[in-house]
Structure 1
Amino acid sequence: MNGIINVLKPTGMSSHDIVNFIRKTLNMKKVGHTGTLDPNAVGVLPICIGKGTKIIKYIQYRNKKYRAELTLGSATDTQDKYGKIINTSDKVVNEEEIIKVIKNFKGEINQIPPMFSAIKKDGKKLYELAREGKVIERECRKIFIEEINIINMYKNKVIFDVVCSKGTYVRTLCNDIGEKLGTYGHMSFLERLEVGMFKLDSAYTIEQIQDRARLNNFNFILPIDYPLEFMQEINISKHFYKHITNGLKISTKRLNVDDFEMNVEYKIYCDKVFIGIGNIVENNDDTILKMNKVLV
C-alpha cells in the first residue's frame, strides 16, 4: 500500500502515537507523519505510507490553518493551558486593542520557539531540557502569517483562525500577542483545520480507520499525487515507462515535451498514470527529463 491518510488526530495522542497506530493497523513498517501536532491538540495530521513517505517534505512545507483560543491574563511555562502558571496580570484589554495588535502579527514575523518543543539542541530535545528545569537560548526564526482572523471574543478569551508557514508555534503566537497587549496570554485550545490540500471535514478518525481496515476497505488511503496540486504535470508515452522508472534520462525531443520551465519540479505521468517527480535540466546541447523520485 502506498499513499497518504488524512487522519483526524484526537487529543491525548502524539503524532508518533498516530504513526505507531497506522503501522499496527495496516501492518506496515514504512509510515511517517508530515509535521508534529501537539499531543493535546486535535485535527488534521496527514500520514504517509509506503512510497508515499518519499513526498513528506512536499507536504511539510505547505501552509497550515489552525483555530486557536487565546486566554489573556496569564502565562504558562509551556505556553498552553497544560503548563504551570508563571505570570499573571489583572490588566483588562478592550476589544479594539486586541483587534489592532492581532492584525499586526500578519506577514513575516520573528518567533522564538518555546522550550517545550521537539526542536533539538546538541542532540537533546528542548522539552527534555525543560523538564529538567533548564532554559537555554533559542535562535529567533522567521515565520509567515498569511492570515489571522478573530472569530469571537468573550471576556478574556479570543478565538481566532490563523494560516501560517511551517515552523510556526501557535502557542508562542498566543504568548507573544499577550505580551504585545501589555499583559500575558497562553493557548487554551488548538485545532488544526488544514494542511495544504488536507481538510478537517475529510479526515478519518482512528476508529473509522480501524473499522475499515478490519473489513479490508482501504478507501481512506489517498493517492500519492493528491497533495501535489501545486505542481504542473508532464504526461509522456507509455513507450518510455521502463526507461523512466529505471531512472534513465531522456531527451525532451524524444518525449515531445516542448512547453516547460528549466529546473522546476513536475509531476510525471506515463499514459496518465502517476510515476513520480522530475525536472527538465540541460545536458550538453540538449534538455532532458531527469527523475528525482520514482514512486511506482
Structure 2
Amino acid sequence: MINGIINIYKEKGYTSHDVVARLRGIVHQKKIGHTGTLDPDAEGVLPVCLGKGTKLCSMLTDKRKTYEAVLHLGIETDTQDISGTIKQECPVQVTKEEVRACVEGFVGNQMQIPPMYSALKVKGKKLYELAREGIEIERQARPVTFYEIQILSINLPFVRFSVTCSKGTYIRTLCHDIGVKLGCMGCMESLVRTRVDRFLIQDSLKLSEAEALMKEGKLLEHMVSVEEMFEYLPALYAKPAFAKMLQNGNAVAEKRILESDRVRMYTNTGVFVGIYEWQEEKGLYKPVAIFSSPEDFLPEKRDKT
C-alpha cells in the first residue's frame, strides 16, 4: 500500500471526488481521500492522501490556502460565479482606487454567509441540492480570516487578485461581497488554488502525469511521507520500557521536551508511531494521531530501521 500525500493539480471540469476516483484506478488502492473540495470550474492544488496519510485529511483541511481569482464586476449570479444564472447586471462606475480600497478592506477577520450553491449540509441535505430545487434558506454567517489579499491587476470590469485565507472560506462569496460593497455587484470569473500549506502549484501533478509516473515506477518520488508533514515538530524516541504501550497506542509518561507541546513519537528502535501531545496535569504524552500499524512493529521491520 502507498502511504503519504501527493500534490495533484485538479483540472477544470473534474470534481474533487473525480480526482480521488481516478487516482484509485492509477495506484490500485482504495484508501484515498482529498483534503478540501474544489468546485468543478476551479482548478489548482488538491493534496490527496493515500493509505496511512488519509488520517491527515482533516488536518490539512484546516490549513491556510492561497488562491488566485478573477472578479467580474457588474454581474450578479445565483451561484456567485460566472457559470450561474445571471440575476442582474449593473453599470460599473467605480474607479480603480475605489476598487483597491474596497478589496483591501476585507483583510482580517470577517463574517461570511455561505452560498446556497455549496456542499454544506442542513438537516442532512446539501445546500446545493436545495438550491437546485429552487429552495433558499437562511444561512448563518461564519467567521473567516483573510490573511492577505493582493491585487494583481485591475482592468475593469475585471479584477485579478491573490488571497490567502482560513478554512471554510468561499472565494466566490468574497467576490460577491466586494461587488455588493462597491454597489455594482460582482461574481467570480475564475479561480485557481495555488497553495495548501506546504503544497505549491508549481510542484503539482496532473492526473495524466501521475499515471505516467506510476507506470514508470517513479510516483513514490513525488510523494510526501506522513513523517515529513510533521518535520517541524521535535522527535521523541521513547524508552524501551514504553515499546508495548506505544504499539497499543497508549499514553506514555516520557520526560517532556520543553520546546513544544506536540512531538513526533518514535519507539526506541525508530518506528514512527504518531503525534503525541503533552498533558501537564497528568505528566505524560497522550496520542493525538496514530499513524503506525501492527506490521510496523514486526521484528524484521525493526531490523531495517
- Asked if TM exceeds 0.5, the reply is yes
Give CA deviations for 1:156-179 in whole Å, capped at 9, x if unaligned.
100000000000000000000001
2:224 is the alignment partner of 1:222: yes
The alpha carbon displacement at 1:90 in A equals: 1.1
The aligned amino acid for 1:278 is Y
Match of 2:277 among 276, 279, 288: 279
Unpaired runs of at least 5, structure 2: 293-305
Aligned to 1:87: 88
Runs (4 or more) in structure 1 with deviation over 4 Å come to 270-273
The aligned amino acid for 1:268 is M
The aligned amino acid for 1:171 is R
Aligned to 2:295: none
Q: How does 1:40-59 map to 2 (within 5 A)?
A: 40-59=41-60
Aligned to 2:285: 289
Q: How does 1:114-125 map to 2 (within 5 A)?
A: 114-125=115-126
The alpha carbon displacement at 1:282 in A equals: 4.5
Give CA deviations for 1:197-216 in whole Å, capped at 9, x if unaligned.
11101111101111111223
Q: Bigger shift: 22-31 or 106-115? A: 22-31
The aligned amino acid for 1:166 is K
The aligned amino acid for 1:176 is D
The aligned amino acid for 1:280 is W
The aligned amino acid for 1:266 is V
Q: In the aligned structure 2, how far is the partner of 1:106 from the partner of 1:272?
A: 44
The alpha carbon displacement at 1:275 in A equals: 2.7
What TM-score, normalized by structure 2, do the two folds share? 0.89
Q: In the aligned structure 1, how far is the partner of 2:80 from the partner of 2:227?
A: 36
The alpha carbon displacement at 1:133 in A equals: 1.1
Q: In the aligned structure 2, how far is the partner of 1:181 from the partner of 1:55?
A: 40
Aligned to 2:16: 15
* Contact 2:71–2:188, Cα closer than 8 Å, also in 1: yes
Aligned to 2:64: 63
* Contact 1:68–1:161, Cα closer than 8 Å, also in 2: yes
Unpaired runs of at least 5, structure 1: none
The alpha carbon displacement at 1:272 in A equals: 5.8
SS of the counterpart of 1:117?
Answer: coil
Shift in alpha-carbon separation, 1:208–1:241, aligned structure 2, 3 A: farther
Aligned to 1:265: 262
Q: In the aligned structure 2, how far is the partner of 1:16 from the partner of 1:226?
A: 25
Q: How does 1:125-136 map to 2 (within 5 A)?
A: 125-136=126-137
Q: In the aligned structure 1, how far is the partner of 2:110 from the partner of 2:250?
A: 44
Give CA deviations for 1:205-246 in whole Å, capped at 9, x if unaligned.
1011111112232222210133335x5223215735454232
* Contact 2:102–2:182, Cα closer than 8 Å, also in 1: yes
Shift in alpha-carbon separation, 1:272–1:197, aligned structure 2, 3 A: farther
Aligned to 1:236: 237
The alpha carbon displacement at 1:250 in A equals: 2.4
* Contact 2:238–2:265, Cα closer than 8 Å, also in 1: no
The aligned amino acid for 2:226 is I
Q: In the aligned structure 1, how far is the partner of 2:189 from the partner of 2:276?
A: 43
Aligned to 2:301: none
C-alpha RMSD of matched pairs (Å): 1.8
Q: In the aligned structure 2, how far is the partner of 1:62 from the partner of 1:158?
A: 26
Q: In the aligned structure 2, how far is the partner of 1:232 from the partner of 1:118?
A: 34
* Contact 2:73–2:92, Cα closer than 8 Å, also in 1: no
Aligned to 1:248: 250
Q: In the aligned structure 2, how far is the partner of 1:272 from the partner of 1:80?
A: 50
The alpha carbon displacement at 1:78 in A equals: 0.6
Q: In the aligned structure 2, how far is the partner of 1:21 from the partner of 1:216?
A: 18
* Contact 2:69–2:191, Cα closer than 8 Å, also in 1: yes
Q: In the aligned structure 2, how far is the partner of 1:293 from the partner of 1:102?
A: 39
Q: In the aligned structure 1, how far is the partner of 2:160 from the partner of 2:98?
A: 15
Shift in alpha-carbon separation, 1:30–1:180, aligned structure 2, 3 A: same
Counting aligned pairs with the same residue, the percent is 40
Structure with the higher helix share, 1 or 2:
2
The aligned amino acid for 1:91 is V
The aligned amino acid for 2:248 is N
* Contact 2:4–2:225, Cα closer than 8 Å, also in 1: yes
What TM-score, normalized by structure 1, do the two folds share? 0.92
The alpha carbon displacement at 1:273 in A equals: 5.5
Give CA deviations for 1:110-167 in whole Å, capped at 9, x if unaligned.
1101111000111111111111111111111110000001000112100000000000
* Contact 1:245–1:294, Cα closer than 8 Å, also in 2: no
User: How many residues get paired?
Assistant: 288
Q: In the aligned structure 2, how far is the partner of 1:39 from the partner of 1:238?
A: 50
Aligned to 1:97: 98
The alpha carbon displacement at 1:260 in A equals: 5.2
